[in-house]
Structure formats: C-alpha cells, structure tokens
C-alpha cells in the first residue's frame, strides 16, 4: 500500500498529509482532518451527500482520490460561513426550513453554492437540474429550491 | 385561553444552525482515534438454507483481523413483539443477506477482505417469497420453533405455519349485509417490499469495557428500546448498557427497534476495550437492515343505493420477510384499522403477518396504513362510481366522525375529516374539468383519505426534566430523538410556553444518552409531539409551580395570583414583578438576609396512556383499541403523457387534522416532504430474482424522487380539532403525510385514462402498456 505526501488547501488552511493510494478525498477529510460535514451516503457518487468544492467546482468527494487533490483547493460546508457569519444560502435554508434531518444539507449547500457562483440568477428548472445529484428523503426539495431562489434574489451565494 | 407566546409560532428550528454549518454530529462523525476497529458482516447468499459448518480459520489468518464471531458465541434471540431473530444465524439462514458471522479488523478494507474468507457450508432449502404461497400447508416452514418463541400478549402467532400474527376483527353480520347492498366491489391489491432509503445508512459503534460496561453510539430512533432489547438478548444488566444517539440522518421507521446495532455490541465483546464501528453500505441498507413489508389485500366492500357503506370483508397478507419481531405489530395495526377511515356497520377483517424468505419487514412511515390504503382507497372510488356518486361526496358521507363507534368498538375521539376533504377538494378545483397542457396528454384528478393511530403497546411512556441555568435559560432533557421531524424544536416551544420564558432561552439537552436522558419508549408512531409533549409540559409546569410558590412566599402573596411572563414572575394582584435570573438557581434571601429560601429549580414530568384496553382475540372488540387517530385527505391533479406513459403531477394538496399545530411551518414541511415521499414510493420496488437475490440495491437501480421529479405545486392545509389529551390539543403528523398518496395518484390516473392499477409499483412503461391494451 503506497503512501503519498500531499499538500492541499482545505477551507483556507494549508494541510500537509500522508495518504494511502486508495484513500478517497471523503475519507481524507473525515478521517485525517476530522472534517465531517461532508457525509458518506453511498460511496458511489450517486447521492451527493459528500459534495465539496474542488477548485470551485462541485465534486462527489467519494469519487476523488486524496492523491488527486495534491496542490488543489477544497472547500466543504464548514468553509462556507466566515467567522460565524452565515452565507445568504445558509440564511435562506434557515428562513425556509429547508433542513430536516440535515444529512443531505452539506452537499445541497455546496451544490447550490456552485450553481449561484456560475449562474447568479437561475430559473427554477436550472436549480432543480443543479440539485438532481443531491438526494433528499425528508423535505421533498420544495423548500430547498425556494431557499436557493431567495439567496439568488439577495445577490448570490 | 390567553395568547400564546411560543406554541403555534413558526420559530426557527433549534438544530438548524448546526445543520447548515456542518457542525451537527451524526453517529459516523464521532472520532474514536487509533483504537477504533471496524466490523463487517458475513451474509448468507441463500434465501433459505441450513448451516452445516462455519470455518473462520482463513479469515483469522488475515493480518489486521482481530476477531470473528458467529452464532455459536451468541445463542440468544432478539425481538420487540416476537422474539424470533437470532443474533447471528446459527442453524438456518432465512434470507439472502442473513448475517452468519461478524469480522472485526483494524480497517474496513481488511474486515471486508476477511469476511470473504469465512467459509460457510450450506444445505439449500426450498424458499418462499409470496405470502399467499407461504400460508399454504405444504409451504417450506421458516420457523419450525415458532411455538416456543416469547411473544407479547396481544400478538397471536400460529405455530406450525408461517403465520406470525393473525388479527381477527368481527363486527355485525357481513354475510347477511351483502344482500342489502346495491353495489359491491371485490378486488385484490398488491404491493412489493420497498425501503426507507434514509440518506444516512445505519451506523453503530460499540465498546465493551473489561469492567462489563458497554457503550453503544448509534443512529437510532429507539435508544431506550435498544438498551432494553440488547441488554436482554446479550445478558447485559440494563444499568451497564449505555446507548448514545446523536442526530439521525433520516429514520422513517428504519431506525426503530433493533436492527444491526446488536451485531456491533456482539463484535465489541470479542475485542474488549476497543470500539468497533459497523456501518452499512448502501447495498446493505437496501436489503440488510429492514424494509417495508409487501402486501396482498383482498377487499370486498358494499353500499346501499344512497351510497351508505354497509359491509366490508378484508384479508391482508403481509409478506413479513425472514423475521417478524416488529412486523407482527404492523399486521395487528392493519387489523384493528382495517376499514380505513370509514364507519361501516358490518365488518369481517383478517390480517396476517407471514414469514417469507426476504429481507426483514419492519416499521416504515405509516406502519401498515399506506399498504392497506392502497387498495381501500381505490375500492371506495370504484364503489362510488358504481352507484354514480361523486367520490368526494361518497367520502364525506361515509368517513369516520367524532363520537361514532368504530369497528373495534371504540368511540372515535375528536377529529374533523370532512374539513380535510373539503380543503383538498377546493385546492384542486374538484369537479372542474381542466384541459391538459398538450394534445397528447390526458389530465385527471383523484382523491384519497386516511387514518392512522399510533401503533404500540398500551403503555409506552415519556418523561422529561426541566432545569435552569443561572441566567434563567433552560435545559430541557428528553429521550425523544431528532430525526428531522422537529422533535427538539417542539420540545423547546412547549417548555417555553408552559414556563413563560422566551423560546430562545430554551436548550434541548443532546445527544440523547440513556445514561443521562430521561426515559422515552421510542421515537416512532407519530407519538412524540403528543406523548413527549405532555411530559415536557408537565415538567415545565412542575418547575413553574416551584418558582411561583417560592416567590409567593417571598412576597407574602398567594401563588394563585402569580404567573410567569416573558421570563419574569408577575403578580396580577400587587403588580410586582421579579426576573427569574438568579432566583431559579440561588433562591431568594429572607428579609435582611436572615437566611435564604428556595434553591435550584428542577421540574419533572411524565406521560403514559393508561386507558388502552386489550381486544378480544376472536373479534378484535374492546373498549379502547388505541390512544387516538390522526386523519387527513390528499387530492392529486396530474397529467399522463399518452406517448410515453409518464405521469406528471401538477399538484398534490394535503390536509391533516393535527389537533393543534405547535409549529405550523414544521407541520407543513412534514406535509410537503411526505407528499413527495408518497409520490416516490408509488414508483419504488425492491426486486429479486427467482432465488431471492436482490436485483436493485443501489441508487442507480432503485430510484427515489430527485429535485427534478417533484410536483409542480405542493399544497398543505392544517385543520385543528383539539385532541382531548394532547398538549394544547396536539397530535402527531410525521407518518400520516404519505399514507394515501399512492391511491390518490392511482385514482387520478384512472380519472385521466380510465385504467386501474391494482399492483404497485407504477411505471411509465406499465401505464403506457395498459393504455395500449385498453385501446385494442
């Protein structure tokens, strides 16, 4: 089992890590760094609960190897709020009660964040399309979609 | 009643800041450090087989493997209502996935590799998958020892058969009533096993200390029931078993009772002093935890020419899977509620739970009610059509009403189902034919109604403690779990209201920990707002009484003249006021500081229903079968694409009588989420090959609704007819919200294209083929 030394910026902090070849980015975040916002829902890139930003793009962190992020930048749900100041998206999720069990929420917020960054004024259809890879069993999605719309109206992610 | 300060308000959830910032802790998130081991289950590849021999020697040789445990190490069985499930299968496996051994290793990968090296010799037996086949006299018997299993007094297994529960309901004279009927509908309805599909799979971590103390961290709806059942089955004194349950990432009944948690504890015993983590893969979650039972329902129902229901005869055969330790009570619930939400003078009902060589059937949102309503609510539409009556009018006329003697002999508690029907009918412009959005589409509307009682033993208890901090902020201690439904928020609102303090002064003590949290039976049955709510209210009132007595003594007034408003004690008589800050911990000084009085305020409260009676085993008759019912209605407006068979839902409108909405917006989030869950379930099915091997245990092959699939509009209405013994009249709502969605959709599809579907799941292909067949 080969080990690799990598340097990766996670939520603005530079981290120097030793990771085995087969370790996923999700495992690295959760087990090496104790960053547990990204969740493991399927280990197969199908549920979106582990979504993080990799150089600004949303990825399923269970489908990325830790060695691949050497020299790159990762942002998880923990990296959205700065000094306790919630983002407009996080505020909108609270305002609309878009959260129930909360297990899909970290991935939802990241996918929505990425959407609003590339498309600040998405249509309802575009929001649904952007979130189609993030499964939620509690909310019926309707509040989540409304929350993204509200955040967009208030000027982006 | 004075104005409310917290109850009835749309206050923000107490758990929401943690959940949007990623700091909310779930069972898999806790860090255990380098001493953590990982468990992996060895599961049966056969649906039904005898175990001849298990050889673990090769697995034990793998570097990093710490232990392998089998049924030999754990001879006991476990179960809530029927103790029928071995901890590990020792002599016989009963479904593909039945655990036969557990491997403990230093990593998940090593545990998985070693699990493949456990050699099990099986002798395959004939298997049975359909409940109707399984009740035949010559069917392979899954549990030859059924007669020796420990069973709750209200469950009636039939030893020597695969029937783990038979509930009988007899009222009036069905046979002579048929001749008075102007119309009769008789149909068979079927639905397959489906899964809860929480986004968080089951996770349990256990440590067995050399001292004999055991701690289990688990994603659970039932920390106290797990303590009780695991303690009994593994011979651990209750006081030595501590269950800690942080936030649950979706439950829907799948995390009720005990499923995989007992394996984590069993494996931990083999490696004392080391925590062992057992986390279900998504594949295991689908078929190796629990599922909703399958059902075959025979429904016969008749009415007179004016549309009055006269008679019903139903037989429900639940495919309960390999172990029915929890499922037997689903069949019982379906038995005593077998009529659905209707008043019918003559009823013959038989409800069976039947062993099949399939995954373990257990509680899922609705607990038998979505299953039986699938047929009932289509049959009612068919009957209304036969006598030429509008389905809404038919239901208004026949639906159950307060004060009626329902089929079990119980008097129906306060509900207003007619109001629910009227609200949803209005929401979809019932009776108004509206055009489809394109020429190749057909539009239809359908409606269905429901009822559901909390299905549980007669005496499930709740308890609560209310404690103050120095600044008069409050800690509410409960044993009810936060699954996303808002239990913690409701607890905080009820405590704030009953104490007279602002909502944002209240904290809920979490995680739930059986060592420190007060007892709660289980977070199931939509019983928490009602039962826990009563306990929290009682605890808050106990604390308030202590405070008022203290201040009354201090002021030399009568406690009856005092109250607490907005965190201050006030006197209606002398108009004095005093902040709670300080006094709730330090008490108050006597005049000139000649001593002190009072001290830290701790309020305690409990609630347990005391009035549920037993039912006659031959007739199902008794004074009070259940604590109460929640009722509701749903209407669906949809289009069917005649070129593809695709169903597009324009609107789902729901209305439920919740007694009193403690937090109306949270009620609406249940209604909306449940409507989509119900819609999704209409198209879901676990599939198996002819050997009982699962074919679709992944998100790719078992599709649940995504953001792109939801109805264009989801509408919710709240009806408030106070429940006699609910906190401010409140009753539960978490499960009811998907009970009648599938038949409402089916009724709307019939309205659109004139085709009935008696079997779930629906699919575009099935609908398309049925339309083509109809044309031919």
ipTM, two decimals: 0.98
Q: Where do the H-state alpha helices sit in B71-160?
A: 108-115, 131-134
Residues with Cβ within 8 Å of B136's Cβ and at least 6 positions away in sequence, in order, are none
pLDDT of residue A1 exceeding 80, the answer is no
* Fold that domain A3-79 belongs to in CATH: Ubiquitin-like (UB roll) (3.10.20)
CATH class of the region A88-153: mainly alpha
How far lies B559's CA from each of A14, B95, B157, in Å?
A: 62, 64, 56
CB–CB contacts below 8 A, A to B: 165
CA distance A155 to chain B (A): 19
Give the tens place of pLDDT for each residue, A37-61.
Answer: 999 999 999 999 999 999 999 999 9
Using CB atoms and an 8 Å cut-off, which of residues 59-78 of chain A contact chain B?
76-78
Note the pLDDT of residue A156: 65
- Using CB atoms, which residue from A76, A135, A144 is nearest to B199? A135
State the DSSP code for B48: S
How far lies B439's CA from each of B640, B650, B743, B752, in Å?
A: 11, 16, 26, 13
Whether residue A101 and residue B710 make contact (CB cut-off 8 A), yes or no, is no
> What domains does chain B contain, in order, with CATH numbers?
16-24+460-607 (3.30.365.10), 33-125+213-274 (3.90.1170.50), 294-456+614-775 (3.30.365.10)
- Report mean pLDDT in 10-residue bins for chain B, 776 residues: 88 98 98 96 98 98 98 95 97 98 97 98 98 98 98 98 98 98 98 98 98 98 98 97 98 97 98 98 98 98 98 98 97 98 98 98 98 98 98 98 98 97 98 97 98 97 98 98 98 98 98 98 98 98 98 98 98 98 96 94 98 97 98 98 98 98 98 98 98 98 98 98 97 98 98 98 98 92
Q: Where do the H-state alpha helices sit in B83-144?
A: 108-115, 131-134
Handedness of CA B57, B58, B64, B69 (dihedral sign): negative
Task: Show residues of chain A in contact with B673, CB under 8 Å.
Answer: 100, 138-140
Whether residue B20 and residue A86 make contact (CB cut-off 8 A), yes or no, is yes
Residues with Cβ within 8 Å of B366's Cβ and at least 6 positions away in sequence, in order, are B452, B735, B736, B738, B739
3-state secondary structure (DSSP) of residue B510: coil
- Using CB atoms, which residue from B20, B665, B700 is nearest to A93? B20
Q: Give the model's confidence band at A143: pLDDT under 50 very low, under 70 low, under 90 confident, else very high.
A: very high
Cis ω on the peptide bond leading into residue B285 (within 30° of 0)? no
Q: Does A99 touch chain B (CB under 8 A)?
A: yes
Where in chain A are the domains?
3-79, 88-153
CB B366, CB B736: distance < 8 Å: yes
CA distance A104 to chain B (A): 7
- Using CB atoms, which residue from B483, B699, B708 is nearest to A129? B708
CB B380, CB B395: distance < 8 Å: yes
Q: Is A58 left (phi over 0), alpha (psi -120 to 50) or beta?
A: beta
Q: What mean pLDDT value characterizes chain A?
A: 97
Distance CA B38, CA B281 (A): 13
- Using CB atoms, which residue from A22, A76, A141 is nearest to B22? A76
Tokens, residue B522: 């289980």
Nearest CA in chain A to B279: A40
Cis ω on the peptide bond leading into residue B306 (within 30° of 0)? no
CA distance B676 to chain A (A): 5
Q: Does A122 touch chain B (CB under 8 A)?
A: no
Q: Report residue B751: phi and psi, to 5°.
A: -60, -35
Angle at B506 between CA B501 and CA B512, to 5 degrees: 145
Whether residue B708 and residue A37 make contact (CB cut-off 8 A), yes or no, is no
> E strands, B44-171, where?
49-55, 65-70, 77-78, 85-86, 92-93, 99-105, 119-124, 163-171
């Amino acid at each position: 089992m080969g080990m690799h030394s990598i340097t990766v910026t996670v939520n603005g902090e530079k981290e120097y890590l030793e990771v085995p070849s087969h370790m996923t980015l999700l495992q690295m975040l959760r087990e090496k760094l104790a960053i547990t916002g990204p969740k493991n829902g399927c280990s197969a890139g199908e549920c979106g609960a582990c979504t993080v930003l990799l150089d600004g793009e949303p990825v399923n962190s269970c489908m990325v190897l830790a060695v691949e992020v050497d020299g790159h930048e990762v942002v998880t749900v923990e990296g959205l709020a700065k000094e306790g100041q919630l983002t407009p998206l996080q505020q909108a999720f609270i305002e609309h009660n878009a959260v129930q069990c909360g297990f899909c929420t970290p991935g939802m917020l990241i996918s929505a964040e990425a959407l609003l960054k590339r498309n600040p004024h998405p249509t309802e259809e575009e929001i649904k399309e952007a979130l189609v890879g993030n499964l939620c069993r509690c909310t019926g999605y309707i509040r989540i979609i409304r929350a993204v719309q509200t955040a967009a109206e208030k000027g982006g992610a | 009643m004075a104005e409310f300060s917290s109850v009835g308000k749309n206050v923000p959830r107490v758990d929401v800041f943690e959940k949007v910032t990623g700091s909310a802790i779930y069972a898999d998130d806790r860090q255990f450090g380098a001493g953590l081991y990982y468990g992996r289950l060895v599961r049966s590849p056969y649906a039904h087989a005898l175990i001849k021999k298990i050889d673990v020697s090769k697995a034990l040789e793998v570097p990093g493997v710490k232990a392998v445990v089998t049924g030999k190490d754990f001879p006991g069985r476990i179960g809530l209502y029927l103790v029928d499930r071995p901890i590990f299968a020792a002599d016989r496996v009963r479904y593909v996935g039945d655990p036969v051994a557990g491997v403990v290793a230093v990593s998940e990968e090593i545990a998985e590799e070693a699990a493949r090296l456990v050699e099990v010799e099986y002798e395959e037996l004939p298997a049975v998958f359909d409940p109707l086949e399984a009740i035949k006299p010559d069917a392979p018997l899954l549990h030859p020892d059924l007669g020796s299993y420990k069973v709750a007094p209200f469950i009636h297994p039939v030893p020597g058969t695969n029937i783990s529960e038979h509930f009988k309901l007899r009222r009036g004279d069905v046979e002579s009533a048929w001749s008075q009927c102007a119309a009769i509908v008789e149909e068979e309805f079927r639905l397959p096993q489906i899964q809860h599909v929480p986004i968080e799979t089951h996770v349990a971590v256990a440590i067995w200390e050399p001292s004999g103390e055991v701690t289990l961290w688990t994603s659970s709806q039932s920390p106290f029931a797990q303590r009780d059942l695991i303690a009994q089955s593994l011979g651990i004194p209750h006081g030595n078993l501590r269950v800690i349950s942080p936030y649950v990432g979706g439950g829907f009944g799948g995390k009720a009772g005990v499923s995989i948690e007992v394996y984590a504890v069993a494996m931990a015993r083999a490696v004392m002093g080391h925590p062992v983590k057992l986390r279900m893969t998504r594949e295991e979650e689908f078929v190796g935890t629990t599922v909703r039972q399958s059902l075959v329902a025979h429904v016969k129902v008749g009415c007179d020419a004016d549309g009055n229901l006269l008679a019903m005869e139903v037989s429900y055969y639940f495919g309960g899977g390999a172990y029915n330790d929890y499922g037997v009570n689903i069949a019982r619930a379906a038995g005593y509620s077998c009529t659905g939400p209707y008043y019918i003078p003559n009823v013959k009902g038989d409800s069976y739970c039947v062993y099949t060589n399939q995954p373990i059937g257990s509680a899922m949102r609705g607990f038998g009610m979505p299953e039986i309503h699938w047929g009932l609510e289509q049959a009612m539409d068919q009957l209304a059509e036969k006598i030429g009556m509008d389905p809404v009018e038919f239901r208004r006329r026949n639906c159950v009403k307060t004060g009626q003697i329902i089929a079990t002999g119980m008097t129906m508690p306060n509900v207003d189902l007619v109001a629910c029907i009227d609200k949803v009918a209005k929401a979809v412009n019932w009776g108004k034919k509206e055009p489809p959005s394109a020429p190749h589409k057909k539009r239809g509307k359908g409606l269905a109604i429901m009822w559901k009682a909390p299905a549980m033993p007669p005496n499930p208890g709740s308890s609560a403690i209310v404690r103050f901090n120095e600044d008069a902020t409050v800690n509410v201690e409960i044993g009810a779990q936060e699954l996303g439904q808002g239990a913690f928020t409701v607890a905080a609102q009820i405590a704030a209201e009953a104490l007279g303090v602002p909502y944002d002064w209240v904290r809920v003590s979490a995680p739930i920990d059986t060592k420190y949290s007060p007892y709660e039976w289980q977070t199931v049955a939509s019983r928490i707002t009602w039962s826990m709510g009563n306990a929290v209210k009682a605890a808050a009132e106990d604390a308030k009484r202590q405070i008022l007595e203290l201040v009354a003594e201090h002021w030399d007034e009568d406690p009856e003249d005092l109250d607490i408003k907005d965190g201050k004690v006030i006197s209606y008589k002398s108009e004095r006021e005093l902040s709670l800050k300080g006094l709730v911990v330090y008490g108050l000084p006597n005049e000139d500081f000649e001593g002190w009085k009072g001290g830290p305020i701790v309020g305690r409260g409990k609630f347990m229903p005391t009035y549920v009676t037993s039912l006659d085993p031959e007739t199902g008759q008794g004074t009070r079968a259940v604590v109460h019912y929640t009722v509701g209605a749903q209407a669906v407006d949809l289009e069917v694409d005649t070129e593809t068979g695709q169903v597009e839902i324009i609107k789902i409108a729901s209305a439920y009588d919740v007694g009193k909405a403690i937090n109306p917006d949270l009620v609406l989030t249940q209604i909306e989420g449940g409507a989509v869950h119900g819609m999704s379930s209409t198209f879901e099915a676990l599939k198996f090959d002819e050997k009982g091997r699962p074919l679709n245990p992944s998100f790719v092959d078992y599709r649940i609704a995504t953001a792109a699939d939801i109805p264009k509009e989801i509408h919710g209405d709240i009806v408030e007819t106070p429940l006699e013994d609910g906190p401010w009249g409140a009753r539960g709502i978490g499960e009811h919200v998907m009970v009648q969605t599938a038949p409402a959709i089916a009724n709307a599809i019939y309205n659109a294209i004139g085709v009935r579907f008696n079997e779930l799941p629906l699919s575009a292909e099935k609908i398309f083929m049925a339309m083509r067949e109809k044309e031919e």
